[in-house]
Amino acid sequence: MMSEPRLFGYVLYRESRDQLLNEIDMRISDSRFSAIISLNTLKLYLGEKNPELKDCFDSGTHIIPDGQSMVIADYLINCKRISAISGAELMVALIARAEMMKYRLFFLGAEESLLLKVRNKLKLEFPWLYLNSMFQHGFYKIEDEAEVIERIAKASPDILFVAFGSPRKERFIITNQSRLNTKVLMGVGGSYEYFVGEIKLGTIAKRLGLRWFVRLINDPRRLFIRYFKCNSYYIFAVIRELFFRVTR
């Protein structure tokens, strides 16, 4: 059987979000570890600049196409018709699944005030999780990280959400996965804000692949250089892959 074609060197998850949720249920039931990595233009750019990071990203058990940019690239390069899986929406779906299946959650990262909002939303909408979830802000000192890891391991959550920025969260996941005593690890970036309603992911912008543009308008000073570098590299990477495909 031929292996699935890679996208930019990554083994991409090409099934639906519902299929992924079912797979995670089965893997939790079988005590099989899962590391979910969201592939987007930022990680594509960071991986190109740092081979160690690329290996880190590629070591995830499920590398999801987080955004229309990956969907378009996979169609152009591999002629695959797939659907984007938003990391933020996947996290929310996993939270709802956890309430139903009685999975214990651990929310790592972000500031205390945002974690408090997460707790309040759980209290209102997911009462079982409110009583069976744990939280740790992300602004601890690096010398305290071993203690944080030990606390997570003792809690033994079914799912651990890691809300650090990239590439810190991916490094944390890959470096410490054997010590965290969890079945599912997922880097979620700014998804806590989405969960509590501080960030809206517009349907039209999602379909057109323009969520990055909406974020840029809302925070141009911080994001302009980042998006310019990442999007420029993405265009170059697609053209390069198409060229190599034609010349093979």
Walk along the chain (248 residues) and give the pLDDT tens digit of each residue. Answer: 456 899 999 999 999 999 999 999 999 999 999 999 999 999 999 999 999 889 888 989 999 999 999 999 999 999 999 999 999 999 999 999 999 999 999 999 999 999 999 999 999 999 999 999 999 999 999 999 999 999 999 999 999 999 998 888 888 988 899 999 999 999 998 899 999 988 766 655 555 555 555 555 666 666 668 788 999 999 999 999 999 877 76
Spatial separation of the C-alpha atoms in residues 130 and 165, rounded to whole Å:
25
* pLDDT attached to residue 56: 87
pLDDT value of residue 167: 84
Best CA proximity match to 109, nearest among 36, 177, 43, 187: 187
The residues pairing with 135 across neighbouring beta strands, listed in sequence order, are 107
Sign of CA dihedral 139, 169, 241, 82: negative
pLDDT at 159 (0 to 100):
98
Number of other CB atoms surrounding residue 52 within 10 Å: 11
Contact between residue 98 and residue 158 where contact means Cβ atoms under 8 Å apart? yes
The CA-to-CA distance between both ends of the chain, in Å, stands at 21
Rounded distance between C-alpha atoms, residue 156 and residue 234, angstroms: 38
Give the pLDDT of residue 204: 52
Residue 1 pLDDT: 41
DSSP single-letter state for residue 6: P
pTM: 0.89
Give the residue carrying structure tokens 């909408």.
125
DSSP string over 120-155: HHHHHH-HHHHHHEEEE-S---GGGHHHHHHHHHHH
